Structure 1
Amino acid sequence: MSATEEPPTGSPCWVEVPALDVQRAKAFYAEVWGWNFKPNPPGETRYTDDFIAMYTYPGEKLMGGIMKRDEACIRKTKAGVLVYLYAESIEEQVEKIKKANGKVVGETYKEGDFGLVQEFEDTEGNMCAMYTSVK
């Protein structure tokens, strides 16, 4: 999805897969599901190939990353796949989450120069995140 093709609010826009070994997980998902991996953005020095492997699913419409996590982090966060939902306005969605008895987790933070992220829990304790592009 290009920067000009933003999805509607509520659409899955990123799926993060935690991994102890990013390269091993990358090989698994490429072999089993045919995921296509791409290089990190030019000039992006915070992320190495051992920290994140960015991918697109077949069809190139949804993106994600296999992210390096240590065992303590995985146990602490009940790690599993983390789905990011696109939000045109994080502020509006935060209010809706609170009104619907969800829980906002932490503060909104920058994702490089690309966007903003806010994590939350639904009413069942499932961890999710929302993302909006920096305009």
Structure 2
Amino acid sequence: MAVQPEGTPCWADAMFTDVEGAKTFYGEVLGWTFGEASTEFGNYTEAYANGKAAAAVVPPMPGQEGQSQWCLYFAAQDAAAIARKIRDNGGEVLMEPMQVAEFGTMCLARDPGGVVFGVWQSGTHEGFDTSMGQHGAYTWAEVFTREPEKSDAFFPAVFGYRAKQMQDDAVDFRIFDLGDQSVLGRMKMTEDFPPTVPPYINVYFGVSDCDDAVSKATQLGGTLRFGPMDTPFGRFAALSDPQGANFSVIDTSTTAGEFPQTTDVS
């Protein structure tokens, strides 16, 4: 797999108090299998879709117990340089760039509106080894924030994105592009979101049948938040797993409707 251009989503992981429960849930819903826990790296455990690296789960470090949430990592050529850009543009570096053996260098940060994300400078681990849209594979992600103007200024400044705004009075939605590829969405959180829900990045995983994935998720203790709904991009649904981590599933082979009009706002 070639190293992704800087700013491309390249990896996702989540901390779970009950890692075995998370493995059972995502194994059933997304078809993931799991490698051996790496005791040297806090029992970090990779998940595989059709034998290819798809994501990872890990127990929390002592003192870090709390709400489970998926963390999306963006590719960086130089994690230290990106950390400086994060600070220069009003963000906060939560964990300084740290080399993880030969695998690469990671950094955790928060944008000015409170959205937590990761940065990954690859070594031997280049990130997702799956193909977008395949069952269990990372497929898309969206920044959910109550302060869209902060994210809209921050992410293009740090990663060089071009932006286009969806022409829809019902939602405030923006798409960030790298070159000719759309890599990230940004959605303004409405009053439908309880005040206790912090801003976050919602990660989409591909499934072969959205309704079947929703049925499995809810039977296993997950919560359906929205959908299933047909869109020009695929049939998708928003869920929370039994430990509270938000994510979405999408069947990109089932599409309906016309693609929305957008306006370049770069």
Q: TM-score band (shorter)?
A: 0.7 to 0.9
How many residue pairs were aligned? 124
The runs of at least 4 consecutive aligned structure 1 residues that moved more than 3 Å come to 56-60
1:16 aligns with 2:10: no
1:102 aligns with 2:72: no
1:6 aligns with 2:8: no
TM-score (norm 1): 0.75
Contact 1:87 1:93 in 2 (8 A): yes
Among candidates 78, 86, 96, match of residue 89 of structure 1: 78
Bigger Rg, which one? 2
Contact 1:52 1:66 in 2 (8 A): yes
Q: RMSD over aligned Cα, in angstroms?
A: 2.7
Instruction: Indicate the residue corresponding to 2:55 in structure 1.
Output: 64
1:134, distance to aligned residue in structure 2 (A)? 3.1
Secondary structure in structure 1 of the residue aligned to 2:120: strand
What amino acid is aligned across from residue 100 of structure 2 in structure 1?
E
5+ long unaligned stretches in structure 2: 125-266
Contact 1:37 1:56 in 2 (8 A): yes
What amino acid is aligned across from residue 68 of structure 1 in structure 2?
P
* Percentage identity across paired residues of the two chains: 24
Determine the C-alpha separation between the residues in 1 that align with 2:80 and 2:39. 29
5+ long unaligned stretches in structure 1: none
